[in-house]
Amino acid sequence: MNYLSQRKGFLGYDTNQKANHKVVVVPFGLEKTVSYGGGTKNGPKEIIKASHQVELFDEELNKEPYKEIGIKTLKPFLIKKEIKSALSQLTKINEKILSNNKFPIVFGGEHSLTVGSIKPFVKKYDEITLLHFDAHADLRESYNGEKYSHASAIKRCLDFKNVKVVSFGIRNLSQYEMNFYKENQDRIKIFWGKDKKDWDLSRLKTIFKEKNVYITFDVDGFDASIMPATGTPEPGGVAMGRCTSNNKKCMSNF
């Protein structure tokens, strides 16, 4: 795999840092099915650029975690033109990273990439709990004639029988999606955006205890006043916050 220099990669830390890297950042600026605002192809580049302004010290852990973890960032590469080919491309990348006992973090890109990213984890683990932050349920069977649309991202993940979903911040969905949710509450839990003041977060201890957790975060999960730079802004989103967890496993894409 070809990597950016540490200075040009995620967090932009000193090149003399010698830790054997455990994390691989995958910049995957997928932009194939956006249906309102565009620009998702520029997401990874801008996240990496902004990360160079972040302080590397964590006041809760009282250390600079990157020194123990080690992070490398893949060099930008061409994404396949056809959506299914692009998703297969991402699957192969994550498979290779996992086969080398590394931890992939995918920077998107539109949300449709999630099914390609999660597939290697689905194969590796008996059960995956998908922790999903979003304004939208993404449970449509298809959208604008596309089965792999960003509006179908979570539905495609649920095509894998060993995946369950916990969604936070949902505040926009279709009648079809609501019906599907009601019929599959054994696999889908939703913390509705309208109820955020009443969320019982103590439930999370039970939901995620000893689970393998894959995290996917759509920026429109935040309120539009905090994150206006999204193609599908929705009012009533979550505010900035911070949480900690003792989960058995944790996987992520943004």
- 211 pLDDT above the threshold of 70: yes
- 248 pLDDT above the threshold of 80: no
Per residue in 42-75, is it b (16+ CB within 10 Å) or e — as a string?
Answer: ebbeebbeebeeeeeeeeeeeeeebeeebbbbbe
- 97 pLDDT above the threshold of 80: yes
Decide which of 252 and 87 is more confident. Answer: 87
Q: CA 17, CA 245: separation in Å to the nearest integer?
A: 27
Asked if residue 10 is part of any domain, the answer here is no
What integer is the mean pLDDT of 233-253?
58
Of 25-39, 55-69, 233-247, minimum mean pLDDT range = 233-247
- Residue 20's pLDDT band (cuts 50, 70, 90): confident
- 164 pLDDT above the threshold of 70: yes
- 104 pLDDT above the threshold of 90: yes
What integer is the mean pLDDT of 238-254?
51
Which CATH number does the domain housing residue 65 bear?
A: 3.40.800.10
Asked if residue 6 is part of any domain, the answer here is no
Task: Provide the edge-to-edge strand list for the sheet that holds 212-217.
Answer: 71-73, 23-28, 103-108, 249-253, 212-217, 128-133, 163-170, 188-192
**Is there a contact between 237 and 169 (Cβ–Cβ < 8 Å)?**
yes
- 253 pLDDT above the threshold of 70: no
Backbone dihedral region of 69: left (phi > 0), alpha (psi from -120 to 50 degrees) or beta? alpha
Asked if residue 5 is part of any domain, the answer here is no
- Residue 246's pLDDT band (cuts 50, 70, 90): very low
Q: Provide the pLDDT for residue 17.
A: 66
Asked if residue 31 is part of any domain, the answer here is yes
Q: CA 177, CA 44: separation in Å to the nearest integer?
A: 29
Cβ atoms < 10 Å from Cβ of 220? 24
- 165 pLDDT above the threshold of 70: yes
Of 5-14, 15-24, 178-187, minimum mean pLDDT range = 15-24
- 229 pLDDT above the threshold of 80: no
What sign for the dihedral angle of Cα 243, 244, 247, 252? Answer: positive
Q: Which of 3-7, 18-22, 88-92 has the highest mean pLDDT?
A: 88-92
List of residues 6+ apart from 230 with CB closer than 8 A: 37, 218, 219, 220, 224
Dihedral angle over CA of 30, 36, 38, 40, nearest 10 = -40
Q: Identify any residues that bridge with 192 across adjacent strands, giving them in sequence order.
A: 170
Asked if residue 209 is part of any domain, the answer here is yes
Q: Provide the pLDDT for residue 18.
A: 66
Asked if residue 32 is part of any domain, the answer here is yes
- 143 pLDDT above the threshold of 90: yes
Q: Provide the pLDDT for residue 235.
A: 80
Count how many domains the chain has. Answer: 1
Asked if residue 9 is part of any domain, the answer here is no
Q: Provide the pLDDT for residue 252.
A: 46
Helices (H), ranges, the chain? 43-51, 66-69, 83-99, 114-124, 153-157, 175-183, 203-208
| Helix (H/G/I), strand (E/B), else coil: 250 | strand
- Residue 225's pLDDT band (cuts 50, 70, 90): confident
Residue range of the domain that includes 44: 23-253
